[in-house]
Amino acid sequence: MTQISRPSRHLSRRGLLMGGAALATLAACGNPVGNFNAERLDSRVDATRDYLRQNHPELDTLFQDAQGILYMPLVTEAGFLVGGSFGQGALRINDATVDYYSATRVSAGLQIGAQQYAHVLFFMTPQALADFRAGEGWAASADIRYATPNQGGSAGIQTTTMFSPVIAVVFGQAGLIAGASLAGVRYQRIIP
């Protein structure tokens, strides 16, 4: 009898342990899991808003027309076979914070490494904003449209995007990220 199943179980356990270690790393990074600080978070949200307004004036129409904007100033993602991401942010209406949210995602598959990025969700219709706020846990879906870089690295906001109920802008240290996806990210209200 061969022991093929034993090494594969061992690898699976190792993968789970390494994935657990990756998720634990998220807790030690810039967004402390379970360590909520509204003042620090509002400061990061202000910096995120100011960065986008100063560096991407092509987003001005989104800022003006949005019914509400969810800012996630720092999301940390890490993985080794099993991965995950975590971040905290604030929902603002008329540039005033009305609620705080966490964003989490768990993934499995061939992956290794870590990265940090930020994203902003522009809720363009009253219904999209109401649906987001009413849910106990809102999951990003394929309905989100992305404002992404095109020629010259500016955000490409097309006419079809402008009529979408939710528009996402994902960016990192190097600027807006093309091909980014928030599929599977789950947002939940933080009760301070």
pLDDT tens for each residue of 30-60: 444 456 799 999 999 999 999 999 988 889 9
* Cα(149)–Cα(157) distance, integer angstroms: 9
Q: Residue 154 — very low, low, confident or very high, per pLDDT cuts 50/70/90?
A: very low
- Cα 74 to its chain centre, rounded Å, is 8
The better pLDDT of the pair 113, 184 is held by: 184
Q: Is the pLDDT of residue 170 over 90?
A: no
Number of H helices, E strands in the chain: 5, 9
* Cα torsion through 133, 38, 44, 34, rounded to 10: -80
Q: Is the pLDDT of residue 113 over 80?
A: no
Domain count, the chain: 1
* Mean pLDDT, range 160-169, rounded to an integer: 75
The closest of 101, 130, 106 to 188, measured between CA atoms, is 101
pLDDT at 159: 43
Residue-range definition of the domain harbouring residue 46: 5-190
The closest of 111, 91, 108 to 100, measured between CA atoms, is 91
